[in-house]
């Protein structure tokens, strides 16, 4: 089973394989540049452990763990 | 001599959030702005005029969006405007320091129009971050003019105006780059486009609709179902999607667009070392840090709360004093009689109430705009999302809720930054449950009257606790009942910190305050007229008015909560403004406000007084809040729900507490 974006610890880097599901959340993430092959790294988690801040394509994006769990990744 | 004819162009301004689009807009149009709403939407619409010799530009500021997918009202507005209004030129404002993602929207805009120009903003920031962009190469790659700008320093505006004019008069050929779909997809799209009626637009527009039908875009499907002439195209799209395995056309399309952008970036952008060693990152370690994030948020929002409601108070007092003086002049100037009473205590009182909000709203939105512009509000949402998410709300809901402790009116207006409509409605619906300062005036008086000493503080504290508890419980309940199945997600850009621009901040604050006054002014003035008649006619005194009679009819209901008819009637007085209940009580008991304490102590028991406070907290939002709710939802159904659910809740709580008190021997 592939790793999930929600498993990525701060400081780690990964490549996106794909986003499961079908809803608007998936489309939103893709529109923001999270398409297959994109490099993404986890920066930090919020004080209460959720959401998580990521860096993708040179800018920073906060995503809830539950949404991040739909993103399949491979560690770099 | 006949003056040279002036050409008028309609130009739309598009762009991502946080790219300085409003700075470009404000600098170009100056004070020539008109603010309204997009038809039937709660999204603000701003238009302005730019005048140059022989040229007038009507500039329409489209809502800030990341894409033109039909995921939010903002995105729909932006793309429908370009499709339907066909502006002469579309200006895409992009952030040079974050080019790749910004250009994704450029590619989407290019699908809708040929007349596109790129306003490459924030070049200074990009340079500090070591990003060097080859402008000529970028222009060649994209096939559209690129105008470098630093909107903050007013650099590049004239070049932009010239570019707009050149494109509109076809002196500057534009051939925007478009993403190429795989040949198989192109074939299918063309086949579907051919089935669309000619009214759907030019061939390229039809192809765009065809593609959207294949992607099962919500708005495209809705339109196809509405218009019979689209039926064949819709059927074909469904068929093709199933037979050709085009289920994931979206991923393919977005993937192709970003692949193209990556190539372009490699050719036009050179990355050197960043000279601004990312202080955004350093600041974020404090602002969103594990141990520091929440205390910092408490400090900022506490300060904001204090500033809004404490700084506003002397101003409000002075304004009220002024209005009272004016009222005094009116009293002396008008012949005494029922009509004068009506005018002064009805419409004039209503107008004074609305005017009294002005300093608070102005100060609140000035601070709000500073926090939003600086990038802090996004961090605050990030820090608080866990808590808000547990309540079925969004991280962005936190500030509006907190501000509800001050005044529900600006709090509800502040929900505009919540992107998801469900989250936004929910935040609006529960906001009136927050114990605002007007209710605090009432409660401090009653607590002082009935619970002297430290017991009074305990009573106030328990009311605050109840207020917060109800917000949590009711939002969880409404989330289940009303917004079930609404996907809740939190995907939020944390933009680099940025020094707020005074001009933008003041424009924003002024617009919010003026918008409320214009709308609320008329509605509240009208409503107070009605309310005056209700509480005075036939009279004399509220107890012999219609309201008094209704209140007496409600006596049996009141008795289930231990409230006599006088207390019930006074609730009508609290409808215009919550502290108004005090004035009503004074009238009913036939004493001045000075004698009210003694009169109440004689007539009402302590536990009844507590129940009365709980009922006052919950029963209805004040009228100004209802007006704000309607303004922000543009829906009578939601406004009605927000206005009346409290009645049932108040009764349930009141009756429950009264019975509990009886069992425990407190009543």
- DSSP letter string, B292-307: THHHHHHHHHHHHHHI
Q: Using CA atoms, how far apart are residues B463 and B98, in angstroms rounded to an integer?
A: 48
- φ and ψ of B178, to 5 deg: -130, 145
DSSP state letter for B310? I
Q: Using CA atoms, how far apart are residues B337 and B149, in angstroms rounded to an integer?
A: 65
Q: Are B389 and B330 in contact (CB under 8 A)?
A: no
Q: What does the CA dihedral B269, B270, B276, B281 come to, rounded to 10 degrees?
A: 60
Q: Are A40 and B259 in contact (CB under 8 A)?
A: no
Q: Using CA atoms, how far apart are residues B206 and B261, in angstroms rounded to an integer?
A: 25
Say which of B285, B290, B493 has its CB closest to residue A61: B493
Cβ contact A37–B255 (<8 Å): yes
Cβ contact A62–B494 (<8 Å): yes
Cβ contact B385–A64 (<8 Å): yes
Residue found under tokens 């006074």:
B570
Q: What is the torsional sign of CA B369, B370, B371, B376?
A: positive
pLDDT at position B2: 43
Question: Residue B61, Cα to own-chain centre: how many angstroms?
Answer: 17
**Nearest in space to B84 (alpha carbons), one of B38, B130, B150:** B38
Q: Which residues from A are below 8 Å from B491, CB to CB?
A: 25, 28-29, 32, 61-64, 67
Grouping H, G, I as helix, E, B as strand and the rest as coil, residue B119 is strand
Say which of A23, A31, A38 has its CB closest to residue B67: A31
pLDDT at position B486: 67
Q: Are B617 and B653 in contact (CB under 8 A)?
A: no
Cβ contact A33–B100 (<8 Å): yes
Q: Using CA atoms, how far apart are residues B140 and B320, in angstroms rounded to an integer?
A: 62
Question: Which of B65, B296, B491, B495 to mutate to test binding with chain A, by most A CBs within 10 Å of its CB?
Answer: B491
Cβ contact B284–A63 (<8 Å): no
Percent of chain A with pLDDT over 90: 89
Cβ contact A48–B386 (<8 Å): yes
**Nearest in space to B93 (alpha carbons), one of B117, B75, B124, B115:** B117
Q: Using CA atoms, how far apart are residues B650 and B612, in angstroms rounded to an integer?
A: 10
Pairing mode of beta strands B146-148, A59-63: unpaired
Torsion region of B634: left, alpha or beta (phi above 0 gives left; psi -120 to 50 gives alpha): left
pLDDT at position B548: 85
Grouping H, G, I as helix, E, B as strand and the rest as coil, residue A52 is strand
Cβ contact A47–B383 (<8 Å): yes
**Nearest in space to B121 (alpha carbons), one of B173, B82, B160:** B160
pLDDT at position B8: 93
Say which of A30, A44, A51 has its CB closest to residue B490: A51
C-alpha dist (Å) from residue B347 to B135, B142, B310, B343, B620: 60, 59, 28, 6, 21
Say which of A32, A49, A59 has its CB closest to residue B491: A32
CA distance A9 to chain B (A): 15
Q: Are A46 and B385 in contact (CB under 8 A)?
A: yes
pLDDT at position B487: 66
Cβ contact B389–A63 (<8 Å): no
* CA-atom Rg of chain B in angstroms: 29
Cβ contact A53–B494 (<8 Å): yes
Q: Which residues from B are below 8 Å from A62, CB to CB?
A: 378, 381-382, 385, 490-494
The count of CB pairs under 8 A between chains A and B is 120
> The sheet that has B55-61: what strands, in order across it?
B33-37, B44-52, B55-61, B7-15, B89-95, B116-121, B146-148
Cβ contact B382–A51 (<8 Å): yes
Task: Return the biggest CA–CA distance within chain B.
Answer: 94
Whether pTM exceeds 0.95? no
Pairing mode of beta strands B491-493, A59-63: antiparallel
Q: What is the torsional sign of CA B411, B416, B420, B426?
A: positive
CA distance B384 to chain A (A): 8
pLDDT at position A1: 60
Q: Which residues from A are below 8 Å from B66, CB to CB?
A: 28, 31-32
For chain B, which ranges sit under pLDDT 70?
1-5, 246-247, 275-277, 485-487, 593
Grouping H, G, I as helix, E, B as strand and the rest as coil, residue B418 is coil
DSSP state letter for B88? S
pLDDT at position B350: 76
ipTM above 0.95, yes or no: yes
Question: Which of B129, B280, B386 to mutate to test binding with chain A, by most A CBs within 10 Å of its CB?
Answer: B386
Say which of A35, A53, A58 has its CB closest to residue B98: A58
Q: Which residues from A are below 8 Å from B381, CB to CB?
A: 62
**Nearest chain A residue (CA) to B297:** A47
Q: Which residues from B are below 8 Å from A57, CB to CB?
A: 100-101
Q: Are B610 and B667 in contact (CB under 8 A)?
A: no
In 10 A of CB B637, how many CB atoms?
A: 8
Interface residue ranges in chain B relative to chain A, Cβ cutoff 8 Å: 66-67, 69, 71, 98, 100-101, 104, 250-251, 254-255, 258-259, 281, 284-285, 288-294, 378, 381-383, 385-387, 389, 395, 487, 489-495
Q: Which residues from A are below 8 Å from B289, CB to CB?
A: 44, 47
The helix or strand, by DSSP H or E, that contains position B539, with its residue range, turns out to be: none
Pairing mode of beta strands A71-75, A59-63: unpaired
Q: Using CA atoms, how far apart are residues B283 and B374, in angstroms rounded to an integer?
A: 12
Peptide bond into B394 cis (omega under 30): no
**Nearest chain B residue (CA) to A67:** B489
Cβ contact B491–A35 (<8 Å): no
Q: Which residues from B are below 8 Å from A35, CB to CB?
A: 251, 254-255, 258
pLDDT at position B275: 67
Q: Which residues from B are below 8 Å from A49, CB to CB?
A: 386
Residue found under tokens 């005494």:
B336
C-alpha dist (Å) from residue B145 to B165, B343, B355, B377: 12, 61, 48, 34
């Amino acid at each position: 089973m592939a790793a999930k974006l929600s498993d990525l610890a701060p400081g780690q880097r990964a490549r996106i394989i794909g986003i499961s599901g079908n809803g608007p959340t998936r489309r939103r993430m893709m529109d923001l540049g999270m398409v297959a092959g994109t490099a993404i790294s986890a920066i930090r988690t919020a004080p209460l452990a959720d959401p998580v801040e990521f860096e993708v394509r040179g800018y920073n994006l906060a995503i809830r763990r539950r949404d991040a769990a739909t993103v399949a990744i491979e560690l770099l | 001599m006949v003056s040279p004819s002036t050409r008028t162009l309609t130009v739309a301004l598009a762009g991502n959030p946080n790219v300085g689009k409003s700075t470009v807009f404000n600098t170009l149009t100056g004070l020539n702005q008109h603010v309204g709403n997009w038809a039937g939407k709660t999204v603000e619409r701003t238009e302005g005029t730019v005048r140059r010799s022989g040229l007038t530009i009507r500039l329409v500021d489209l809502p800030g969006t990341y894409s033109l997918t039909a995921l939010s009202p903002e995105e729909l507005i932006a793309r429908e405007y370009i499709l339907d209004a066909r502006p002469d030129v579309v200006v895409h404002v992009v952030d040079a320091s974050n080019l790749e993602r910004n250009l994704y929207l450029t590619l989407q805009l290019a699908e809708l129009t040929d007349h596109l120009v790129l306003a490459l903003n924030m070049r200074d920031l990009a340079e500090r971050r070591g990003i060097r962009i080859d402008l000529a190469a970028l222009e060649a790659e994209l096939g559209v003019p690129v105008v470098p700008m630093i909107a903050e320093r007013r650099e590049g505006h004239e070049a932009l105006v010239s570019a707009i004019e050149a494109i509109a008069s076809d002196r500057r050929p534009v051939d925007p780059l478009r993403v190429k779909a795989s040949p198989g997809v192109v074939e299918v799209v063309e086949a579907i486009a051919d089935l669309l009626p000619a009214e759907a637009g030019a061939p390229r527009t039809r192809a765009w609709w065809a593609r959207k039908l294949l992607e099962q875009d919500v708005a495209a499907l809705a339109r196809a179902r509405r218009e019979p002439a689209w039926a064949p195209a819709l059927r074909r799209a469904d068929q093709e999607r199933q037979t050709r395995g085009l289920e994931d056309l979206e991923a393919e399309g977005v993937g192709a667009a970003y692949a193209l952008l990556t190539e372009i970036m490699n050719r036009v952008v050179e990355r050197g070392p960043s000279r601004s060693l990312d202080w955004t990152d350093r600041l974020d370690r404090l602002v969103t840090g594990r141990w520091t994030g929440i205390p910092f948020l408490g400090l900022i929002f506490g300060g904001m709360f204090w500033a809004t409601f404490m700084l506003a108070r002397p101003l409000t007092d002075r304004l009220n004093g002024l209005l009272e003086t004016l009222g005094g002049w009116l009293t002396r100037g008008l012949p005494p009689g029922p009509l004068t009473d009506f005018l002064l205590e009805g419409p004039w009182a209503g107008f004074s109430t609305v005017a009294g909000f002005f300093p608070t709203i102005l100060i609140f939105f000035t601070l709000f705009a500073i926090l939003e512009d600086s990038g802090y509000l996004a961090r605050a949402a990030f820090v608080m999302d866990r808590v808000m998410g547990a309540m079925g709300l969004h991280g962005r809901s936190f500030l509006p809720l907190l501000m509800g402790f001050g005044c529900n009116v600006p709090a509800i207006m502040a929900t505009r930054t919540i992107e998801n409509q469900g989250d936004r409605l929910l935040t609006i619906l529960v906001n009136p449950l927050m114990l605002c300062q007007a209710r605090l005036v009432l409660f401090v008086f009653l607590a002082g009257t009935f619970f002297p000493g430290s017991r009074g503080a305990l009573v106030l504290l328990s009311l605050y606790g109840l207020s917060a508890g109800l917000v949590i419980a009711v939002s969880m309940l409404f989330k289940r009942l009303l917004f079930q199945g609404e996907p809740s997600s939190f995907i939020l850009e944390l933009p680099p910190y940025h020094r707020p621009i005074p001009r933008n901040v003041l424009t924003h604050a002024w617009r919010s305050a003026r918008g409320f006054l214009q709308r609320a002014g008329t509605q509240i003035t009208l409503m107070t007229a009605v309310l005056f008649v209700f509480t005075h006619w036939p009279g004399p005194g509220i107890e012999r008015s219609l309201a008094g009679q209704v209140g007496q009819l409600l006596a049996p209901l009141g008795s289930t909560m231990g409230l006599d008819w006088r207390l019930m009637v006074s609730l009508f007085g609290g409808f215009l403004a919550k502290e108004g209940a005090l004035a009503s009580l004074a009238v009913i008991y036939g004493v001045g406000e000075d004698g009210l304490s003694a009169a109440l102590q004689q007539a009402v028991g302590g536990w009844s007084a507590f129940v009365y406070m709980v009922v006052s907290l919950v029963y209805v939002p004040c009228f100004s809040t209802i007006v704000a709710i309607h303004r922000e939802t543009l829906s009578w159904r939601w406004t009605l729900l927000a206005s009346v659910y409290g009645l049932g809740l108040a009764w349930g709580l009141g009756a429950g507490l009264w019975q509990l008190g009886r069992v425990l021997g407190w009543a």
